[in-house]
Amino acid sequence: MELLTSAYGTSVARRAQLVAVLAEPEDLSPARLRGLTGVADALEVRADLVGDPDPHRLRRHFRGPLTYSLRSRRHGRRSALGPVERRARLLRAAQQYDLVDLEAMDDLVPELLVGIPTRQRRVSWHQPEATRPDRGADRWFGAAMREASEALRHRFAAMRTVPAAAYLLVPQPGAQYGAAAPLLLTGLGRTDVTAFASGPAGTWTRVLAPWLGAPVVFGRAGAPGADGMPSVAQLRSDYGLPALPPLDALFGIAGRATGGSLAPRLHNAALRHLRLPALYLPFPVDVFPRFWHWAFVFGALARLPLRGLTVIAPHKRGAVEVADIADPHALRCGAANVLWLDAGRWRATTTDTAAALHTLARAGVEPGGRSAAVIGCGGAGQAVALALDQAGARVTLVNRGDARGRDASSRLGFPYVPLSRFSPAGHTVLVHATPVVERPPFPITAADRDAVVLELVYRDPPTALMRATHAGGLVGIDGWDVLFVEVSEQFRLLTGHPLPEALTLRSLCFGSAEPAEAHDLAKPAGQPPARSAMRSASGEAT
């Protein structure tokens, strides 16, 4: 096991400026503005989304600097003003705002440059979607990243001919998952340039950019946006921003939909607590082998090597395929949810097995001799089925899609029943391992009175299955209990360190301040959370 050692104390932590973006009408309310005091350093008004609020009213509730941005359709947003009206609004904003965003090319005209002094200018460029770069071949990742980074450098060289207080470049994520944007920052040696990729695929570049030299990081004043911008609250709770402690390596979660996962919040809290120089990021991935190749190229170019991943649907099979060593459980079910570097070799395993058995044991449930049904034959479902079998249970597989169900049955050697013909009667352990949360996947009223329901997904409010389980008086173990066990085991594998006992994972998730004795791993399983979570996860439980 390669321990990730602390680099704290050898360098002084830096700090980024945290900018709260007002992008919804409710962001202009006095309550929200006052709530940003002491949380954000500055505000940015997206006038193309919220109009032109009175800056004096904003300053009554928020004391920090104000930026005015009127994003045009050419730069990917709503404003379709003609040049005369657009320039009039920008010049008017210069009389009242500390910084005014000027879009490269269109706004860099004598009228605006004369009326807006250098100290108030932010020159920006947002790449239109129509010019999204070609994906290219895997073998050219390194060259493609360098070429994209060089193209951004040329773009910036043209922008900096106009003196300004700040510069902003936002390319499309493209084939290199937005890697060109953070790579641009690594060699500039400037403190006035911010660059990140747009869209949900570029969220990780927004978060990482300050560590590579960007002076600011942007977060929505309200909820996270569809454009990939996290909320200010999320930047603070999930990534510890605006503090910038030393950074030598990256971890992350890789899957089709990573935006709702709580894994970054929990892992980064533990990394900060132990003062380990690493950051855990969300990586939306379409094709896992391409991402795997890209990760090593990016790590080498940015000098931030990838040291481990948690992997969620639909890439758990891909995690087994790229590993140097996969443990027997992962090989048998053909799926892994953790990849980590160990003595120079990549190992793969699944923590779903240990999590399922641990949470059942904490609820006082001994699987041996019981009849268990596992609903869902994805990677997590197969791993739990194997664990139950090894614990002495009689396992039946259940799946909506017949092909996957029969394939899992053939692979594992367990009987299979299509979901359309499944009845929970006769099974005293029922494991739900699908992402369906809106309705119970089977009629809970038909379950035996002594049945225990274990669900792998976590949601707030509770899923339909958990609500029906508790309403029927059955023992229900929801995905929160599974999550906390999995995170503890995954963190140990990824870093070589146990999860700090001082961290209360339930408090981190729910924004509460529970006493130390209510630590998650000591809390009896089967109880619903005491407080509501800030948001829910998507896809399979990690």
Strand-pair partners of 432 = 375, 455
Tokens of 231: 């909320």
Burial of 404 (0-12, 13-18, 19+ CB in 10 A): middle
| Gap between the Cα atoms of 482 and 456, Å rounded | 6
Q: Is 523 a catalytic residue?
A: no
Cα torsion angle, 447, 462, 281, 127, sign: positive
Q: Cβ of 378: how many Cβ atoms within 10 Å? A: 24
Residues 6+ apart with CB under 8 A from 188: 156, 213
With b for 16 or more beta-carbon neighbours within 10 A and e for fewer, the 413-428 pattern comes to ebebbebeebebeebb
β-strands 249-255, 42-46: how paired? unpaired
| Gap between the Cα atoms of 433 and 512, Å rounded | 28
The secondary element (H helix, E strand) that includes residue 423 is none
Cα torsion angle, 196, 197, 199, 203, sign: negative
Question: What's the chain's Rg over C-alpha atoms?
Answer: 25
Catalytic residue, chosen from 46, 126, 267, 316, is 316
| Gap between the Cα atoms of 380 and 392, Å rounded | 19
Q: What is the spatial order of strands in the sheet that 325-326 belongs to?
A: 278-284, 249-255, 306-311, 338-342, 345-349, 325-326
Tokens of 159: 């922008």
Residues 6+ apart with CB under 8 A from 147: none
Tokens of 97: 């705002």
Contact between 350 and 315 (Cβ < 8 Å):
no
β-strands 99-103, 66-69: how paired? parallel
3-state secondary structure of 202: helix
Start-to-end CA distance of the chain, whole Å, equals: 22
| Gap between the Cα atoms of 328 and 334, Å rounded | 10
Q: Give the residue from 92, 229, 231, 216 showing the smallest Cα distance to 165.
A: 216
Contact between 299 and 305 (Cβ < 8 Å):
yes
β-strands 42-46, 17-22: how paired? parallel
Cα 313 to chain centroid distance, Å, stands at: 14
Contact between 144 and 136 (Cβ < 8 Å):
yes
Residue labelled with tokens 């896992």: 288
Q: Which residues are catalytic?
A: 316
